[in-house]
Chains A and B, each alone.
Chain A
Amino acid sequence: MDLQALTFLFVGITFAIYIGIAFWAKATTTSEFYVAGGGIHPIANGMATAADWMSAASFISMAGLIAFYGYGGSVFLMGWTGGYVLLAMLLAPYLRKHGSFTVPEFISDRYYSKAARVVAVICLIIASVTYVIGQMKGIGVAFSRFLEVDYETGLVTGMVIVAFYAVMGGMKGITYTQIAQYVIMIIAYTIPAVFISFMLTGNPIPQLGLGSEMADGTYLLDKLDQVVAGLGFSEYTTQARLSSTNMFVYTLSLMIGTAGLPHVIMRFFTVSSVKAARESAGWALVFIALLYTTAPAVAAMARLNLMTTIDQPTQAQNLAYVDRPSWFKNWEKTGLLKFKDKNGDGLIQYTGNKSNTPKTTKVDGKDIVLLPNEMVKVDRDIMVLANPEIAGLPNWVIAIVAAGGLAAALSTAAGLLLAIASSISHDLLKGVWKPNISEKEELNYSRLSMIGAILVAGYYGFNPPDFAAGTVALAFGLAASSIFPALMMGIFSKKMNKEGAIAGMLSGIGITLLYVFQHKGIMFVKSTSFLGDMDPNWFLGIEPNAFGAIGACVNFAVAFFVMSRTKKVPQGVEKMVENIRIPAAN
């Protein structure tokens, strides 16, 4: 069968599974719709959390980023896993004990304030909507590239599938679908990695292959360092991302942001006990780590394969443009890979020399001449998708990768949509505007808001704002600077009052938005950035994407300052905090 038919077959099978689950796991109560009835097994919940967490960005983009940032890409690996340590120890068990359906509901109970609840809902919606736009775009792109339908058709197909199982089953349907999606994702990610690791090093386990010797007796990473340095790129295993300070703060921001993202926290409301919540965080991390420890191997091996396919030790041996392999031609068509024959020799030069004239650099004490780089565009996002083709793997492997990419985008989109829908129906409608509606009415409203959320996300999918890439920074920044500190203080401080919490959340978001906007433009309109997007203007050399940790510090500081100047918490709050800290208390 050809690639096209195989891809349709695999994607079709996975979609049939998702729809089957939708019929089987229909939600009939609000508890099932919001928290899947609260009886999900910790391992099952861990798997669903992993699928929920790992988006198209983790699946498609992350290894590509690492392939080009080398050591500097470690911030994503540590940042997006280390957050689960914070979640497991600082938030999940206590929030499960409290037993609310949503994150703003906990904030409203703990800070005895509807205003705090509304502020939390606003933070949650901004963070989730910006995040879901990226997923919708990922769904459209994945469809259009793999199934060769147009972007719009792909997007609508994706929306209908998500609508089907998310509206019918709520959290219950989403959870069981995510378990299936995790299995598809991890198979799709590891199969090509195992093949390539075995081909390059003889060791089929990618995590070990990355540290192994190649056929010629040199270690793979040493070989990669030599190859990239010899072509004038930074050495793979030591190239830092800007500065140590920046890497430090960036990693911290991603960790705190991970622990504060509502669609992840919500997953821990679905297990049966405090004990199960702690354990489930561990399982989630195991399932995430499977992919995250494979990613560095995929990254390094893809980079090595790409380099050695194109640019050889001597110029005369370089790949001739007319002999380029079929994957090269396919990706050229998408515009994500571009070649320009600057010196007219018909051979492809892929070097770190960005100018138009040859230049001389020293490598290992020897002078070498670097010809101008002729691979004028190599989009990072193609690395994971093109990797199996570059390594010459069979078509069915490529088809599985397509199904995996779609599973990653769909599972995260569904989790985010539920977070948005439940905060509208449960927090705004039931919690603030219409406290007296019956459970059945609330269930109908939550289905309606789910449909509304899908339509809004779909609208942005059709009209992707130019700022789609920058918004992920905003989502993490908001989660880190507003939601995480408010939750943590609510659990670990008995004295934190509503004035402190609200002031903290507002100032945390405020300063993070200000920093991102002043460098990236107001609402990401470039011309309105008043301080310029360049490092001399950055505070301590910290890039805007990494500012969430600073925002969180401001949040904590302002909250404690305001608390010391305002009324003490009313009676009963201390008792409530004690209650959430003790598993058996009621």
Chain B
Amino acid sequence: MNNDYWKANISLIVKCLAVWFVVSYMFGIVLVDVLNTIRLGGYKLGFWFAQQGSIYTFVILVFYYAKSMNKIDEEFNVHEK
């Protein structure tokens, strides 16, 4: 039971860190030249991810993780009382 709870947590972390990796390291650094051919208003897209988009995504990720963990805590009945 506690094992399943931990597995649920790990799989959520892996999903979140995959997004974390893609928006910063892939979109912001490795693929930046490719994305820069696309434009977002006055921004080149790769540049936007490196200096704006990745940070917004990080904020969303942390809140998404906190919210999902609250649900998982309740589901496995391990939440703080």
Instruction: Enumerate chain A interface residues (CB-CB to B < 8 A).
Output: 66, 71, 73-74, 77-78, 81-82, 84-85, 88-90, 93, 207, 210-213, 219-222, 237-238, 244, 247-248, 251-252, 273-275, 278-279, 281-282, 285-286, 289, 292-293, 296, 578, 581-585
Residues in chain A near residue B36, CB distance under 8 A: 237-238
A172 to chain B, nearest CB (A): 23
Docked complex Cα distance between A532 and B80 (Å): 55
**B16 to A, closest residue via Cβ:** A89
Residues in chain A near residue B32, CB distance under 8 A: 71
Are B55 and A88 closer than 8 Å at their CB atoms? no
Are B42 and A220 closer than 8 Å at their CB atoms? yes
Contact of B78 among A84, A279, A582 (CB under 8 A): A582
Are A286 and B43 closer than 8 Å at their CB atoms? no
Docked complex Cα distance between A212 and B69 (Å): 38
**B50 to A, closest residue via Cβ:** A74
Are B17 and A583 closer than 8 Å at their CB atoms? no
Residues in chain A near residue B58, CB distance under 8 A: 81-82, 84-85, 285, 289
Are A82 and B54 closer than 8 Å at their CB atoms? yes
Assign chain B's interface to a size class.
Answer: 35 or more
B30 interfacial contact with A, CB 8 Å: yes
Q: Given contacts A85-B16, A219-B42, are A285 and B50 in contact (CB under 8 A)?
A: no
Are A88 and B66 closer than 8 Å at their CB atoms? yes
Are B44 and A78 closer than 8 Å at their CB atoms? no
Docked complex Cα distance between A285 and B20 (Å): 14
Contact with A along B59-81 (1 / 0, CB 8 A): 10111011001100100011111
Q: Given contacts A90-B13, A581-B6, are A286 and B59 in contact (CB under 8 A)?
A: yes
B38 interfacial contact with A, CB 8 Å: no
Are B20 and A85 closer than 8 Å at their CB atoms? yes
Are A85 and B42 closer than 8 Å at their CB atoms? no
Docked complex Cα distance between A292 and B80 (Å): 34
Residues in chain B near residue A222, CB distance under 8 A: 42
Docked complex Cα distance between A238 and B40 (Å): 15
Are B50 and A221 closer than 8 Å at their CB atoms? no
Name, among B43, B59, B77, the residue most crowded by chain A CB atoms within 10 Å (CB to CB): B59
Residues in chain B near residue A248, CB distance under 8 A: 25, 29-30
Docked complex Cα distance between A247 and B6 (Å): 34
Are A583 and B62 closer than 8 Å at their CB atoms? no
Name, among B28, B29, B30, B63, the residue most crowded by chain A CB atoms within 10 Å (CB to CB): B29
Residues in chain A near residue B41, CB distance under 8 A: 211-212, 219
Residues in chain A near residue B62, CB distance under 8 A: 84-85, 88-89, 278, 281-282, 285
B46 to chain A, nearest CB (A): 8
Are B55 and A289 closer than 8 Å at their CB atoms? yes
**A83 to B, closest residue via Cβ:** B58
Docked complex Cα distance between A582 and B5 (Å): 8
Residues in chain B near residue A219, CB distance under 8 A: 41-42
Are B2 and A578 closer than 8 Å at their CB atoms? yes
**B52 to A, closest residue via Cβ:** A293
Are A221 and B2 closer than 8 Å at their CB atoms? no
Docked complex Cα distance between A247 and B51 (Å): 13
Q: Given contacts A85-B62, A221-B44, A583-B80, are A78 and B24 in contact (CB under 8 A)?
A: yes
Contact of A89 among B6, B25, B52, B65 (CB under 8 A): B65
Q: Given contacts A219-B42, A248-B25, A584-B81, are A85 and B61 in contact (CB under 8 A)?
A: yes
Docked complex Cα distance between A455 and B15 (Å): 46
